[in-house]
């Protein structure tokens, strides 16, 4: 690798981008709107083109929310908006303002579409009366809780206690019970008794109530039976009209003592009611890419005696098996002698390997039926009469992650989606060195001179750093076909996103005027675009090659390269994690604005979440400052606002 400093890299990238801007700016302002299919869109005055981030409609849409910018003076603050497909079909939409220009006109607006949105390559957003959804979402507040009806499922949300979601029903049948937060803590990193905590609600806010989108916000802390309350959380649940899915955004803020509060497990737990015979109960886990692990609690295939082709086919498909009286007598009369497996686990301890295990019940050994590299993060448990699919986004990227199913041979299965899996070990947030005698200003200057680490005692604490995870739940009427589960797994990995075009954003001027959409109109401009592509692709390749993944690390990149070791300086003071130094996140977003590339968007999204959460102290002594680059994201004593 050629020697290149960080400042040279960023300066070169900035100059390359600016070189094409002034010339292409006027062209962007006059360019026609081009749809995803390459067809010119006929936009009315004051309209904005809308497209899918990935270029094509998603196979699974539980609802979507996106933002659109507007030029100053185009729309009054009370403007209503409508959405239509490029062919003129009306799309139900819910809209609200998020920012205004100094003259009071709309600068940014947000919009939500429902699960039943007509899937098209292109849409047009313009002023007008919005269409109403056929099945609107409604939220009714009561003294004890909030009832949310999407038209497909009915969710009861609590206002107090340790159960956030007491019940979700579909067609009058309970599908999910007792949705709650769980936390496991140890006194030491390698040993010690495990203490259990439950998420205790302190405040509930109904932020939106329909007709397309409803949002509920929970705030609270994790509480033990002994009465200790710590680790504040914010959880938002998103419901869309006509949807059988819930999006859950889960945030924690660390306020413990890193010397004695070692998190062993952190997750969301709920119960799935089960009835019917054990051989009609199904478990599913998504594996690598489109792979799917699919078994029954009590398997009927591979036996010494064959129950019959129709029986085997039904169980494999997740359907009701034929009446037991129609089975081969050699199996039907002996079904009680076939072992039933009630407990299942999918563990992803690192970015390169996962394992699926099962056992009959507690007290008996586990057996490992499957292994792979990178699991998709989706699970399912249920019967042909209904069940729940559950998923954790960035499952392997944010390891250690884990999915547990317990007690599937009983009246209900207990499911835990572990954001930090217990089998991944404890979360150790202690400093990485003892200070090395740097207890005076003079010695700290000497340390800065040799390792570029700005160290002061007590400044390298994780107090107030935060972390957000995304989860998805589907209340399903039956065990889905394998093809549908593969689609759901993809929706967990890369949820559907709507956006506008680079040309429209350039016209609006909301990000300043020193950028323009990508331009390959001449060989010289194409060469500049190729160089910018190389810069991004290099970092994306380094993320994969160097495995810049993990619960606290995913989204960040390294600061400086060590050409002698052929390794980034991950262990050298202020040269390790970047923490957005030199505005790497802004570079990525500007590059997305120019190109509209989905891979750039997701890289920038992960970095923005990391920068705004892990690199910032949200409570405590240093709030609301962020930390300069360091071996630990929060380790530097230089606390500064430019990381926020």
pLDDT 10s digits, 33-61: 666 656 556 687 899 999 999 999 999 99
**Residue 152 near residue 134 (C-beta atoms within 8 A):** no
- Which pLDDT value is given to residue 362? 97
Average pLDDT rounded to a whole number, residues 170-185: 97
Concatenated DSSP letters of 83-122: EEETT--EEBEEEEEEEE-TTS-EEEEEEEE-TTPPP-SE
Lowest mean pLDDT among 72-86, 211-225, 482-496, 573-587: 573-587
Tell whether the model's pLDDT for residue 228 goes beyond 90. yes
Concatenated DSSP letters of 532-600: HHHHHHHHHHHHHHHT--STTTTT--BS-EETTTTEE-TTSGGGSB-TTTT-HHHHHHHHHHHH--HHH
- Which pLDDT value is given to residue 1? 46
Lowest mean pLDDT among 6-10, 373-377, 411-415: 6-10
- Which pLDDT value is given to residue 4? 57
* Dist. CA 378–CA 382, nearest whole Å: 14
Question: pLDDT per residue over 246-258, tens digit each?
Answer: 999 999 999 999 9
- Which pLDDT value is given to residue 34? 61
Write down the residue that tokens 């380790």 correspond to: 635
Query: Residue 159 CB: number of other CB atoms within 10 A?
Result: 15
Query: Residue 326 CB: number of other CB atoms within 10 A?
Result: 12
Task: Sort 10 into a burial class: Cβ within 10 Å, 0-12 / 13-18 / 19+.
Answer: middle
Tell whether the model's pLDDT for residue 403 goes beyond 50. yes
* Dist. CA 258–CA 2, nearest whole Å: 39
Lowest mean pLDDT among 181-195, 459-473, 479-493: 181-195
* Dist. CA 115–CA 150, nearest whole Å: 10
Question: pLDDT per residue over 423-452, tens digit each?
Answer: 999 999 999 999 999 999 999 999 999 999
* Dist. CA 382–CA 473, nearest whole Å: 13
Lowest mean pLDDT among 11-15, 336-340, 342-346, 446-450: 11-15
Tell whether the model's pLDDT for residue 21 goes beyond 60. no
**Residue 108 near residue 173 (C-beta atoms within 8 A):** no
Write down the residue that tokens 């932020």 correspond to: 207
Per-residue confidence band for 386, with pLDDT thresholds at 50, 70 and 90: very high
Question: pLDDT per residue over 478-527, tens digit each?
Answer: 999 999 999 999 999 999 999 999 999 999 999 988 899 999 999 999 99
Average pLDDT rounded to a whole number, residues 552-577: 96
The residues near 319 (Cβ < 8 Å, ≥ 6 apart) are 384, 479
Average pLDDT rounded to a whole number, residues 606-616: 96
- Which pLDDT value is given to residue 20? 44
* Dist. CA 332–CA 310, nearest whole Å: 13
**Residue 507 near residue 28 (C-beta atoms within 8 A):** yes
* Dist. CA 54–CA 596, nearest whole Å: 9
* Dist. CA 124–CA 42, nearest whole Å: 9
* Dist. CA 368–CA 359, nearest whole Å: 9
- Which pLDDT value is given to residue 191? 79
- Which pLDDT value is given to residue 582? 81
Taking the CA atoms of residue 378, residue 147, residue 135 and residue 133 in that order, the dihedral angle to the nearest 10 degrees is -100
**Residue 352 near residue 513 (C-beta atoms within 8 A):** no
* Dist. CA 222–CA 200, nearest whole Å: 6
- Which pLDDT value is given to residue 235? 98
* Dist. CA 120–CA 18, nearest whole Å: 35
Average pLDDT rounded to a whole number, residues 373-392: 98
Phi, psi of 98 (to 5 degrees): -125, -15
Instruction: Name the residue with higher pLDDT: 32 or 271.
Output: 271
Average pLDDT rounded to a whole number, residues 619-643: 91
The overall average pLDDT reported for the chain is 93
Helix axes 6-19, 523-546, angle to 10 degrees: 150
Phi, psi of 203 (to 5 degrees): -155, 145
Tell whether the model's pLDDT for residue 78 goes beyond 50. yes
The number of helices, as runs of H, and strands, as runs of E, in the chain is 10, 32
- Which pLDDT value is given to residue 26? 45
Question: pLDDT per residue over 127-171, tens digit each?
Answer: 999 999 998 999 999 888 999 999 999 999 999 999 999 999 999
- Which pLDDT value is given to residue 23? 43
The residues near 594 (Cβ < 8 Å, ≥ 6 apart) are 17, 502, 515, 516, 517, 518, 532
Lowest mean pLDDT among 38-52, 162-176, 207-221, 601-615: 38-52
Helix (H) or strand (E) holding 25: helix 21-30
Tell whether the model's pLDDT for residue 320 goes beyond 50. yes
Domains of the chain and CATH, by start: 1-30+431-465+520-644 (no CATH), 31-133+495-510 (2.60.40), 138-271 (no CATH), 277-320+338-410 (no CATH)
SS3 state at 251: strand
**Residue 479 near residue 274 (C-beta atoms within 8 A):** no
């Amino acid at each position: 690798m050629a020697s290149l400093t960080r400042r040279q890299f960023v300066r070169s990238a900035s100059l390359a981008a600016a070189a094409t801007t002034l010339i292409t700016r006027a062209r962007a302002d006059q360019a026609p709107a081009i749809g995803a299919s390459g067809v010119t869109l006929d936009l009315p005055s004051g309209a904005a083109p809308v497209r899918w981030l990935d270029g094509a409609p998603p196979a699974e849409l539980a609802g979507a929310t996106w933002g659109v910018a507007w030029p100053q003076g185009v729309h009054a603050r009370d403007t209503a908006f409508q959405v239509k497909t490029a062919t003129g079909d009306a799309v139900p939409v819910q809209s609200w303002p998020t920012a205004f220009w100094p003259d009071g006109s709309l600068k940014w607006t947000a919009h939500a579409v429902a699960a039943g949105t007509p899937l098209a390559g292109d849409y047009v957003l313009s002023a007008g009366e919005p269409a109403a959804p056929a099945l609107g979402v409604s939220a009714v507040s009561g003294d004890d809780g909030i009832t949310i009806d999407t038209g497909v499922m009915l969710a009861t949300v609590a206002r107090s206690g340790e159960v956030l979601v007491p019940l979700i029903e579909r067609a009058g049948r309970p599908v999910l019970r007792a949705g709650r937060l769980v936390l496991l803590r140890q006194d030491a990193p390698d040993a010690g008794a495990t203490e259990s905590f439950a998420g205790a609600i302190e405040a509930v806010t109904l932020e939106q109530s329909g007709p397309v989108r409803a949002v509920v916000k929970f705030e609270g802390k994790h509480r033990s039976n002994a009465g200790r309350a710590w680790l504040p959380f914010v959880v938002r649940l998103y419901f869309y009209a006509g949807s059988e899915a819930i999006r859950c955004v889960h945030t924690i803020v660390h306020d413990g003592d890193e010397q004695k509060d070692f998190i062993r497990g952190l997750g969301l737990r709920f119960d799935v009611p089960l009835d019917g015979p054990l051989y009609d109960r199904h478990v599913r886990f998504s594996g690598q890419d489109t792979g799917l692990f699919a078994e029954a609690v009590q398997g009927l295939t591979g036996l010494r005696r064959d129950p019959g082709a129709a029986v085997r086919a039904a169980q494999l498909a997740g359907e009701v098996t034929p009446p037991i009286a129609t089975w081969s007598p050699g199996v039907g009369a002996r079904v009680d002698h076939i072992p039933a497996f009630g407990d299942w686990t999918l563990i992803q301890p690192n970015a390169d390997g996962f394992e699926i295990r099962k056992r009959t019940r507690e007290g008996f050994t586990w057996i490992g039926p499957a292994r792979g590299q990178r699991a998709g993060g989706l699970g399912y448990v249920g019967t042909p009469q209904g069940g729940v699919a559950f998923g954790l986004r960035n499952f392997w990227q944010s390891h250690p992650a884990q999915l547990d199913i317990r007690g599937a041979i009983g009246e209900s299965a207990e499911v835990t989606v572990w954001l930090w899996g217990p089998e991944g070990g404890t979360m150790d947030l202690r400093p990485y060195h003892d200070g090395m005698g740097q207890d005076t200003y003079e010695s700290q200057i000497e340390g800065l001179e040799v390792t570029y680490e700005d160290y002061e005692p007590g400044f390298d604490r994780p107090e107030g750093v935060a972390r957000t995870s995304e989860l998805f739940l589907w209340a399903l009427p039956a065990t889905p076909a394998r093809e549908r589960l593969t689609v759901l797994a993809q929706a967990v990995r890369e949820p559907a996103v709507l956006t506008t075009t680079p040309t429209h954003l350039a016209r609006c001027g909301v990000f300043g005027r020193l950028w323009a959409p990508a331009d390959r109109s001449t060989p010289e401009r194409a060469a500049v675009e190729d160089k910018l592509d190389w810069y991004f692709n290099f970092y994306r390749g380094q993320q994969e090659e160097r495995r810049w993944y993990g619960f606290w690390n995913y989204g960040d990149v390294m600061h400086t390269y060590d050409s002698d070791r052929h390794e980034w300086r991950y262990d050298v003071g202020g040269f390790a994690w970047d923490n957005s130094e030199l505005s790497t996140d802004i570079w990525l977003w500007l590059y997305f604005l120019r190109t509209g590339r989905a891979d750039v968007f997701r890289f920038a999204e992960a970095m923005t979440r990391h920068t705004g959460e892990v690199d910032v102290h949200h409570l405590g002594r240093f709030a609301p400052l962020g930390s300069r680059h360091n071996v630990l994201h929060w380790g530097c004593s230089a606390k500064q606002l430019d990381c926020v």
